[in-house]
């Protein structure tokens, strides 16, 4: 029973979504089921947010209680979760500081703490790219040397000064890079990967719909 019911649900949901794209939503019930099922997913996702809150609280509370390595971060996480969540859950009619409108505690924390921290993390990506590029572009083999040369050409082409330099060698050089490197070799490889991935996804969907693949629910 624990296996059969989820397999049946997966089969029906998968089949309905696969078949519904071939029918007009305004003319058939089956055509209307796709958007309907996607709304269900959103609703179920909303309910499960409670599970996430329980998990984050339990893991961090245990870490603080047992003074695990880095327990200070766990304490900070717990404080942040509740300081951010509780005022936003209280009705704004009680105080303008509650709720999530402009000027509320939630809004202030989001605008002046959360957003700058996210931007900082994102900004650090530039340094990570530099260190990864250094490793990837070291000309240790023929392939790595080709990669280094191609990347140098593409990088030059992408910046105005580099493009001017390339044009000084040959006026059509930037167009050649665009045509043969980006829209040629690069595009062909990307499409190959995309076609393979799409077939892989379709094959996996079929295995799930037919109940052959059941590892995603802990079986098999």
Binding positions for another protein, 89-118, rule CB under 8 A? 114, 117-118
Q: Using the minimum distance from each CB to another protein, give the nearer residue, 149 or 164.
A: 149
* Calpha distance 64→209 (Å, rounded): 44
Q: Which residues contact 10 (CB under 8 A, 6 or more apart)?
A: 208, 209, 211
* Residue 7 near another protein by CB under 8 A: yes
Residue 41, both tokens: 């997913």
* Residue 142 near another protein by CB under 8 A: no
Among 124, 146, 159, 185, binds another protein (CB under 8 A): 124
Among 83, 113, 136, 185, binds another protein (CB under 8 A): 136
Residue 11, both tokens: 């089969």
What mask of x and - would describe binding to another protein in positions 21 to 60, judged by CB under 8 A? xxxx--xxxxx------x--x--xx--xxxxxx-xx-xx-
* Residue 132 near another protein by CB under 8 A: yes
* Residue 121 near another protein by CB under 8 A: yes
Among 91-99, 127-135, 155-163, 166-174, the segment contacting another protein (CB under 8 A): 127-135
**Which runs of E-coded beta strand occur in 143-191?**
none
Q: Using the minimum distance from each CB to another protein, give the nearer residue, 31 or 162.
A: 31
* Calpha distance 62→53 (Å, rounded): 14
- Judged by DSSP in three states, 10 sits in helix
Residues 195-214 that bind another protein (CB under 8 A): 195-197, 199-208, 210-213
Residue pointed to by tokens 């719909």: 209
- Judged by DSSP in three states, 67 sits in coil
């Amino acid at each position: 029973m624990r296996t059969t019911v989820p397999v049946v649900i997966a089969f029906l949901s998968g089949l309905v979504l696969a078949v519904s794209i071939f029918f007009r939503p305004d003319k058939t019930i089956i055509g209307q089921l796709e958007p309907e099922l996607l709304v269900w997913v959103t609703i179920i996702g909303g309910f499960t947010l409670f599970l996430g809150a329980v998990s984050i609280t339990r893991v961090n509370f245990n870490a603080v209680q047992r003074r695990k390595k880095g327990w200070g971060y766990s304490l900070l996480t717990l404080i942040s979760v509740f300081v951010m969540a509780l005022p936003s859950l209280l009705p704004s009619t009680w105080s303008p500081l509650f709720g999530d409108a402009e000027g509320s505690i939630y809004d202030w924390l989001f605008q002046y703490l959360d957003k700058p921290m996210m931007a900082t993390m994102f900004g650090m990506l530039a340094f990570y790219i530099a260190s990864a590029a250094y490793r990837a572009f070291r000309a240790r083999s023929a392939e790595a040397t080709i990669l280094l040369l191609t990347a140098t050409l593409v990088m030059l082409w992408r910046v105005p000064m580099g493009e001017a330099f390339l044009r000084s060698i040959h006026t059509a050089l930037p167009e050649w890079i665009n045509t043969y490197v980006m829209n040629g070799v690069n595009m062909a490889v990307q499409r190959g990967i995309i076609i393979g991935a799409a077939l892989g996804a379709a094959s996996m969907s079929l295995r799930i719909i037919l109940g052959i693949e059941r590892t995603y629910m802990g079986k098999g």
